[in-house]
Structure 1
Amino acid sequence: MQFSGQAWSQRCSFKGEVNVSGSNLFRIGLVVASLSAAQGWSQQNMSPLARDRAQGILQVVANDIKKHYYDPKYHGVDWDAAIAQAKKQIEQTNSFNMAMSDIAAMIDTLHDSHTFLLPPQHAYRLDHGFQYQMIGERCFVTRVRPKSDAESKGVKAGDEIVTLNGYPVLRDVLWKMQYVFTVLRPQGALSLELQDASGTRRQVQVAAKIHTGSIVKDLTGGGGGGDIWDLIRDQEREEHLLRPRYQEYGDQLLVLKVPEFIFSRDEVDSMIGKARKHQSLVLDLRGNPGGSVETLKYLIGGIFDKEIKIADRIGRKESKPEIAKPLHNPFTGKLVVLVDARSASAAELFARIVQLEKRGTVIGDRTSGAVMEAKHYDEQMGTDTVIFYGASITEWDLIMADGKSLEHNGVMPDELVLPDARDLGSGRDPVLARAAEIVGVKVSSDEAGKAFPYEWPPE
């Protein structure tokens, strides 16, 4: 069971005070392909085989939601009518990507952060060469890949993204835009309106680096088929990038960066064992999208010496509490938790429990507000040659001990500490520096910014 996922179901406001619902976002042409090659992929007529595949995916995913979704009333949505509408749209659409958008739009009517389509991977992968996120209510470039087109066009960490493909970038809609741009209808180029630290604005067109692959995977390993080994290598690279990372400041402080909740009890025991050798622990959950319920329980059990109720789980047929039990020898020192706008799901639950139980201090930015309990239903077409797809489906709503839900609300930190454009541009980390100060350790923002050098995924 997963707490992972991001919210893309909120309503969003565009210029001219026009409110556009989430489902419309997939239909109004928010994404316009800017590179001719990408336009060819997304605009070409869909073959009868591809259309049949899209209809098959629609039916399987719709039935999975009908069978497993926690609310049998679908929040008032006429689910059968929504399915019929999506089926009609797929019959009329001209590309497989748009057909996947039709299915995503159908699911979006549920307005649920953890219920969404996991479409088949594309026969190509695009890397735009820069990363960006919300900081407060503004969107900033946080990193630029060396030797990328973004770098050659002068895009820099600390640049504010005012518009993306012509649309204002707002906190409530950013995840939805990223889902469209990178998953449903990948863009060969992005049009950015940037503002630098001095307030000067400029327009930039950033081309992606295109990596070709295959939408259909050969898992036999025979006939020269290497797809299975590609999958294995991808998994190995992912495991390296998602490992826990540590920074020690004598015996006074351990900073533990947890990129995702994917660890076993033994792995969490090892983390807590390292923490016990120090007086204080800073747990960095910035950018952590959530993950496994079990990992969340282990980590909570590693910092509390008593049983903790995580939340009440409200399901289709029953309700029951989610309980974390203490590990054998938990960490009992000072605790500071770091969060940002990309901290989601299990990361948000952990931070809020620390607040409710008065176990430590939470600092950083308001979190994502994407907190439900879901399961990924993995589906496939074919046998030896396989197309993988599926859906994340919420099976439990989660109500915290204070009677409130974090869904669409997030966690407001005890101290709001945000890097500014100049911090981002120079690689400083005032959030980690402030966390160290809280526990009595002096670390400059410059030093803190060097604690965890960023590792770009292989191209």
Structure 2
Amino acid sequence: MSEEAQYNERPRNQNNSFSRDRFDAGQRRQSRDYFDNNIDNQKLRELIRELQQRSMPQYDRNRYETEFPNQYPVDPNQELRNKISQRYSSPSVVGTLQNLDPQRAYSFYLEVNRMIDSRHVQPPSYDVRTRKSLQNLILAVENQNFINANRVAASPEQIRMAQQSWQQLMNQNPARNAQDSVTVMRQAADIAGSQLRMQATGVIYEFAYGSLEALDKHSRFEFTPSYSGPRVDAGDNSVVGVGVQLKTHRDGAVILRTLNGGAAQKAGLQRGDVIVGVNQRNLAGLSLDEVANLITGPAGSSVALDVRREDRNARVNLSRQAIQITNISEVKMVDSQQKIGLIRLEKFGEGAVQELDRALWSLHQQGMKSLVFDLRGNPGGLLTEAIAISNRFVPSGKIVSTRGRNQSDNTLETATHDQTWKIPLVVLVDGDSASASEIFAAAIQENRRGLIIGRKTYGKGTVQTHFPLQSVSGTFWLTTAKFYSPTGREMAGVGVNPDVTVNMSERELEEVGPVDRDLKAGVSAILSHKPGELVNNMSGRQQTRPVQFQFSG
């Protein structure tokens, strides 16, 4: 069992070369007419539209998004519809469902809820979980992917009758305990079997997901894939692709950076280039997840990218290859005269502190006198790595505390490293810096060890514990604690405010120009000598460099 403090709204597999914006952009751009666009049945569309109109509140002009005057009113169920659509588009989720029989599905449901009862930081009532599960079912039977996965064979009228029956179950007496919830689940399964000719497995599966989705947004299932998809991992620390990190753009995707040794870097692609087409397909309007799926593919295969740089366009043919994925993506001197080093940490994954030690030693040998530590876009990772890396810079004082329902979830971590790096330090953050990144940034800021520069961080503030599942092949990442800054400030929903804010408009953030304004501000801060003053006020226990590290490999 391991713990992570990880931002979970990025794509679930962190070993990839794409921006966390992939997941967010995919959610935002899902069409509210998803079901209408996927079922060629006019009568069924009309019935579902009628049901939606009955259940949806009336909207006035003030409920419309002001930035997009022609946008539909916000549908309160749209987020759930998107989740269901994404769920049954996932081969691992569908594969797990199809490998279950009703008894194993029931065991899965019980295992999930027992874990929630015993370990979740704030478990919801069984009534909340049960209602969420029924709501899932009512909306799921409108989704073609769900219908296909569960082999639903029913007419539009039968679907409507099943939805009405499930709605009646929601209106019954509340589920007071686990047994009441199981009773409702069995009744829901009977309705599915009699009216939709649907097996109970799919109903129980959605009840397990309903229990999950009644929790916080960071708890999740992670099933072990038993399939071969277009993105083929070449090992735990590699991924097949062209080696780019992307951010959403209205015309496709903009390159944030290229990965060392990747095909994109070798071809001369660079930060700020906009990918507008893949294999002659226009990317305008696609989600970042869709763009990424078009770019990736089997190792050795080719892909043609249409790239725009300023007002010039070019087609670049690249060969996909396995790229080693590391925690640290960039180590260099950004100012050779002033001896300012840069380290970019992509995630706090296993072995991150060892990579950091090697990077620091390399820069030290080049004469580094100060450091810019880049955590922009870093979604977090392992709590243990965040603590260990904080120890490399903070000589004494609190680093982070965690508080949960169980005594074992309550911890206080303090700096214990006898010899830390005494160098002026600037940390770059943005709205995508989350969790473990926020632990480190708060430890640096509140111990007055360095300056935080950029934009307010995400504000995740929770710790997930990794529980291997016994009933299915996979893992349950469950929120078991919240974490607090060195001064005792709760981080959830708050984040870290920078000492120096670099304001950017939405357009500037999207365009990703060739000049890195955050880095420029970081270098300017170092030259102002403020970070140097902070480090000089720290404990005399610090040394100019670690003297007892031994590196292997």
Q: TM-score range by the shorter chain?
A: 0.5 to 0.7
Q: Which has the larger radius of gyration?
A: 2
Please, what TM-score do these two structures have when normalized by structure 2?
A: 0.52
In the TM superposition, residue 353 of structure 1 has moved relative to its aligned partner by: 2.2
Change in CA separation of 1:246 and 1:314 when aligned onto 2, cut-off 3 Å = same
Mapping of 1:53-452 within 5 angstroms? Answer: 57-71=108-122, 74-75=123-124, 78=127, 81=130, 85=134, 93-96=146-149, 103-113=208-218, 115-121=219-225, 123-125=228-230, 133=247, 141-143=253-255, 149-150=277-278, 152-153=280-281, 155=283, 208=294, 240-243=325-328, 245-248=330-333, 249-250=335-336, 252-262=339-349, 263=351, 266-274=354-362, 277-317=367-407, 320-379=410-469, 388-417=473-502, 421=507, 424=511, 426-440=513-527
Change in CA separation of 1:82 and 1:350 when aligned onto 2, cut-off 3 Å = farther
**Two-structure CA RMSD over aligned residues (Å):** 4.9
In the TM superposition, residue 412 of structure 1 has moved relative to its aligned partner by: 2.4
Change in CA separation of 1:352 and 1:105 when aligned onto 2, cut-off 3 Å = farther
Change in CA separation of 1:281 and 1:16 when aligned onto 2, cut-off 3 Å = same
Matches of 1:283 and 1:46 in 2, distance apart? 41
Change in CA separation of 1:65 and 1:290 when aligned onto 2, cut-off 3 Å = same
Matches of 1:210 and 1:354 in 2, distance apart? 38
Structure 1 counterpart of 2:190:
none
Q: Deviations over 1:37-76 (max 9, x none)?
A: x98989x9998755646655444333333332123xx155
Check whether the contact 2:137–2:206 (CA below 8 A) recurs between aligned residues: no
Structure 2 counterpart of 1:197:
none
Bigger shift: 10-19 or 278-287? Answer: 10-19
Check whether the contact 2:372–2:523 (CA below 8 A) recurs between aligned residues: yes
User: Which secondary structure does the structure 2 equivalent of 1:3 belong to?
Assistant: strand
Mapping of 1:33-52 within 5 angstroms? Answer: 49-50=99-100, 52=102
- The gaps in structure 1 that reach 5 residues or longer are 156-160, 166-177, 183-188, 191-205, 214-235, 382-386, 442-459
Matches of 1:51 and 1:403 in 2, distance apart? 48
Change in CA separation of 1:32 and 1:245 when aligned onto 2, cut-off 3 Å = closer
In the TM superposition, residue 6 of structure 1 has moved relative to its aligned partner by: 2.6
Check whether the contact 2:394–2:444 (CA below 8 A) recurs between aligned residues: no
In the TM superposition, residue 346 of structure 1 has moved relative to its aligned partner by: 0.5
Q: Compare the two structures and name the one with the higher helix fraction.
A: 2
Letter of the aligned partner of 1:116 in structure 2? R
Letter of the aligned partner of 2:111 in structure 1? V
Change in CA separation of 1:295 and 1:91 when aligned onto 2, cut-off 3 Å = closer
Change in CA separation of 1:29 and 1:370 when aligned onto 2, cut-off 3 Å = closer
Letter of the aligned partner of 1:431 in structure 2? D
Q: Deviations over 1:93-149 (max 9, x none)?
A: 524499877754542222243x122234365346999865589xx999432978984
Check whether the contact 2:251–2:276 (CA below 8 A) recurs between aligned residues: no
Letter of the aligned partner of 2:474 in structure 1? Y
Matches of 1:333 and 1:2 in 2, distance apart? 28
Structure 2 counterpart of 1:3:
5
Change in CA separation of 1:422 and 1:403 when aligned onto 2, cut-off 3 Å = closer
Matches of 2:107 and 2:147 in 1, distance apart? 17
In the TM superposition, residue 255 of structure 1 has moved relative to its aligned partner by: 0.6
Matches of 1:68 and 1:29 in 2, distance apart? 24
In the TM superposition, residue 431 of structure 1 has moved relative to its aligned partner by: 1.2
Matches of 2:411 and 2:422 in 1, distance apart? 25
In the TM superposition, residue 338 of structure 1 has moved relative to its aligned partner by: 0.8
Matches of 2:86 and 2:117 in 1, distance apart? 33
Change in CA separation of 1:326 and 1:274 when aligned onto 2, cut-off 3 Å = farther
Q: Compare the two structures and name the one with the higher strand fraction.
A: 1
Structure 2 counterpart of 1:20:
76
Letter of the aligned partner of 1:111 in structure 2? D
Change in CA separation of 1:372 and 1:391 when aligned onto 2, cut-off 3 Å = same
Structure number with greater CO (CA < 8 Å, separation at least 6) is 1
- The gaps in structure 2 that reach 5 residues or longer are 11-23, 29-62, 66-70, 151-201, 232-239, 257-263, 270-274, 300-320, 529-553
Matches of 1:282 and 1:427 in 2, distance apart? 18
Identity %: 16
Q: Deviations over 1:196-252 (max 9, x none)?
A: xxxxxxxxxx97367589xxxxxxxxxxxxxxxxxxxxxx96753434531113362
Matches of 1:47 and 1:349 in 2, distance apart? 37
User: Which secondary structure does the structure 1 equivalent of 2:111 belong to?
Assistant: helix
Bigger shift: 294-303 or 401-410? Answer: 401-410
In the TM superposition, residue 367 of structure 1 has moved relative to its aligned partner by: 1.8
Matches of 2:220 and 2:228 in 1, distance apart? 21
Letter of the aligned partner of 1:353 in structure 2? A
Letter of the aligned partner of 1:25 in structure 2? E
Structure 2 counterpart of 1:232:
none
Check whether the contact 1:275–1:331 (CA below 8 A) recurs between aligned residues: no
Letter of the aligned partner of 1:259 in structure 2? E
Change in CA separation of 1:318 and 1:60 when aligned onto 2, cut-off 3 Å = closer
User: Which secondary structure does the structure 1 equivalent of 2:413 belong to?
Assistant: strand
Change in CA separation of 1:30 and 1:427 when aligned onto 2, cut-off 3 Å = farther
Q: Deviations over 1:79-102 (max 9, x none)?
A: 663686489679965244998777
